Structure 1
Amino acid sequence: MNGHWLLPEHLADVLPAEARRVEELRRSLLDLFRTYGFETVSAPMVEYLDSLLAGAGEDLRLRTFKLVDQLSGRTLGLRADMTPQATRIDAHLLNRQGVTRLCYCGPVLHTRPNGLLASRELLQIGAEIYGYSGFQADLEIIRLAIATLSKAGITNSHLVLCHDGLIQAIINSDSAAVARADEIISLLRDKDLPGISGLADIEGGLLGQTVEALHWLARLNGGVEVLESAREHLPPLPEVTQALQTLEALLAGLDMTSLSIDLADAGQYGYHSGVTFMFYAPNWHDALVRGGRYDNISMAYGRARAATGFSLDLRRLAALLEPAAPVRAVLAPAGYDAELNKSIDKLRDSGEIVVQLLPHECAEHAEFEIDRELANVGGRWIVRPLN
């Protein structure tokens, strides 16, 4: 069998109706971001690997395709996430002293899919705020994420909040925990209480108070009452107290009924530094939107900047929406008549879709509902209903 047209696994073509839906959504969301004061940036698909992965975690390194630059001989990376590129632009190119709001949209490529149903090519759209460390920036980003989903027609999303600074404070209070940080994060995400208990039994194991605190973290998920329980059972470290106060402030500023708190649902250890969040939608198996604070990652580009933001896969978001309906269009006959061309141009300038036939054309227009025609009546070109 000749299968040269087949695509690699977890890659797919996008056909007209879906492509139009994705493109319309892209335009409307970038326009939405602009109303919030975000400036659009664009970065290359390929960069030198050391620049592309500066400050990134191991997960991003594993997801990044590598290749050799034929001009310089250096290793290049195909971007797997646009956030580091926006961070580089803010820290290294714009070099502003105050607050900067940036947004972006572009394709990213993963070496492996994140799940059985996931694609390896995503159309990532996102927004980032740089240069402000207060919770108000986190609140603005979360509100923008809510508005993003609402703009796409998803009004029944569910928000899950966490605070990685709280988790890091507990880990950093115990040198044995610092050495096993990645393992601890994995156990917390899985709510693996026996595994957490086992951390005290190994050679050079964790302190008993650390294991107890991690036990509580794995169980602290639910409604707003979680914060009061956290105050009661977590160690009174200054960073823990501050994290709980930040979450309380966010909750006070959010007008959202469907939300929960999961203090064990950590982001990337060593990457996220504060509030992290995810949005879920009914009948969808994974988070639609992921975001959070990642202060000082820009140190890898020579300047520490507070940062918070979110991103999502636009194609996956579009897949949750109703199929795009055919668009009304006008059918014009073949020909080179000057008055006919003027009439077609006038209709297109007014926003109408005009499909002009080619000589002897027999085509299918599934994207369009052709319900009118441009016809010559008494020497004048007029639009009339199509029989």
Structure 2
Amino acid sequence: MPISETWLLPDGVADVLPEQAQVIEKLRRTALDFLASRGYQLVYTPFIEYIESLSSLSESNQDLDLATFKVIDQLSGRLLGVRADMTPQVARIDAHVHPVNGVARYCYAGTVLHTKPQGFNTTRAPLQLGAELFGSDSIDADVELIDVMLNLIETAGLVDGVHLDLGHVGLFRSLVKHAGLNKATESHLSDLYQRKALPELAEFTKELKSGSDFYALGRYASDLDALQTNLSAEILADVSFKDALSTLTETLREIQLRWPALDIGVDVVELRSYHYHTGLMYAVYAPNRAAPLAQGGRYDGIGEHFGRARPATGFSCDLYSLCAGQYSQTEKVVAPKGTEQQLQNAIATARKQGLSVIQLLGNDELNSVPNATHKMVSVAGEWVIQKI
């Protein structure tokens, strides 16, 4: 490779420069402190694991399996996977490494790696931050996670104009089960819903059992009142469907009470990763951004792969995406070279006050410090800081 190309990075991988790194790191610290105040314990997980440990999701989520880089371990000869999501790792911790009775709350922040950019995201190495709650199947648990997620978005300064989208995979799943559809038909319906292809949906559902219900699910996906009006009495009496609808309605009401000014919408056929999620799903969107700021949902039984199936719900976000377009210019104070005690004391005091102080080296002059904003000068025998 020519020297002129050795500095190039792979597609979807980028450096984070100081002006934005400061913003990201500040948000990471603030977010983790906030999660700790809500009882979420911080865990660090390994960047690479045996592929079997990461397959708890890939068995039910083909997309995640395809997103996982796989390499051969030079020590054992076994197949390793680079984490593409930290949720299965936290599930492993909950199941075996740190099992607790009752509700367990964990949070994490770290880089994950994807074989290809996911959705509208252009990076293959997101800085993922998230929270997981194990051991509760109540609506309260889902409401708590949504509330925590929204507070984090607010911490990032993005709450104005954001939109919360709620859904529940149980509505579609129970209708599929009620109609006795095969996997191919189920997959095709899911594709039609994802594309919002109502004319195709109307044509396709004509010959299906409960076809009018499948059409109503797509046609009135964002209006729960109209949806219930247009569904058959038979499906409304189905226990699984009724429970899913009740959960979605109650969660919507609870979030509206907590966040009365928030724009909240419902989409019962938003079926992203529906093979993985088992219940409520939620995502936060901002104006002029195609990808969600944060997303999550319920995935009960995730620990079954590790021998301990538990109710679970959680969310994650990409800190790089949350901080996109935000930059920070730190004030830099330049101090002259010298070892006299009064100067050193002045430098130490300024640093304790949170200022960034750079002392000149060797024959350096003031202009040798890029983007310097202030200088330390001696005035009447006292060291003071002046703006440049």
Could you say whether these structures have the same fold, taking a TM-score greater than 0.5 normalized by the shorter chain as the test? yes
Aligned-residue offset at 1:269: 2.9
Shift, 1:67, TM fit: 0.5
Q: Superposition RMSD on alpha carbons, in Å?
A: 2.3
CA distance in 1, matches of 2:132, 2:13: 28
| CA distance in 2: counterparts of 1:272 and 1:15, whole angstroms | 36
Per the TM alignment, residue 332 of structure 1 is displaced from its structure 2 partner at its CA by 1.1
Deviations for 1:46-91, whole angstroms, at most 9, x for unmatched residues? 0111111223310000001111111111111111111111111112
Report the equivalent of 1:181. Answer: 186
Q: Once structures 1 and 2 are overlaid, which stretch shifts more, 38-47 or 266-275?
A: 266-275
Q: Which residue of 1 aligns with 2:336?
A: 333
Q: Which residue matches 1:74?
A: 78
| Aligned-partner residue type, residue 73 of structure 1 | G
What is residue 44 of structure 1 aligned with on the other side?
46
Deviation at 1:355, TM superposition (A): 1.2
Structure 2, unaligned runs of 5 or more: none
Q: How many residues align?
A: 376
- Mapped to 2, the partners of 1:50 and 1:100 lie a distance apart of 23
Is 1:118 the counterpart of 2:119? The answer is no
Paired residue type of 2:222: G
Gap regions ≥5 residues in structure 1: none
Q: Tell me, in whole angstroms, the C-alpha distance in 1 between the residues paired with 2:201 and 2:30.
A: 45
Conservation of the 8 A alpha-carbon contact between 2:280 and 2:298: yes
User: Which residue of 1 is the match for residue 56 of structure 2?
Assistant: 54
Alignment of 1:1-387 (within 5 A): 2-56=4-58, 57-115=61-119, 118-155=122-159, 156-178=161-183, 180-193=185-198, 195-196=200-201, 207-209=208-210, 211-223=211-223, 225-226=225-226, 228-229=228-229, 235-236=235-236, 237-254=238-255, 255-256=259-260, 257-320=262-325, 322-324=326-328, 326-361=329-364, 362-366=367-371, 370-375=373-378, 377-378=380-381, 381-386=382-387
Distance 2:51 2:28 in 1: 28
Partners of 1:230 and 1:348 lie apart in 2 by 66
One-letter amino acid of the counterpart of residue 216, structure 2: W
SS at match of 1:343: helix
Taking the aligned partners of 2:335 and 2:115, their CA distance within structure 1 comes to 47
Once the two structures are overlaid, the 10-residue window that deviates more, 356-365 or 286-295, is 356-365
* Alpha-carbon shift at residue 19 of structure 1 (Å): 0.8
* 1:316-362 Cα deviation digits (max 9, x unpaired): 11015x432x2333221123334433332233233222111112224
Deviations along 1:240-299, one digit per CA (max 9) or x if unpaired, are 111111112112211244111111101323310110011110111121111100000110
Deviation per residue, 1:167-212 (Å, 9 max, x gap): 11112224433454333322221123455456569xxxx7421x33
The more displaced of 369-378 and 255-264 is: 369-378
Whichever residue aligns with residue 108 of structure 1, its letter is: V
**What do the CA deviations read for 1:301-330 (whole angstroms, capped 9, x no partner)?**
11011011111111011015x432x23332
Q: Aligned partners of 2:126, 2:375: CA distance in 1, in Å?
A: 38
Instruction: Classify 1:231/1:251 alpha carbon distance in 2 versus 1 (closer, same or farther; 3 Å).
Output: farther
One-letter amino acid of the counterpart of residue 235, structure 1: I
Residues 220 and 229 in structure 1, CA contact (< 8 A), matched pair in contact too: no
TM-score computed with the length of structure 1 as normaliser: 0.90
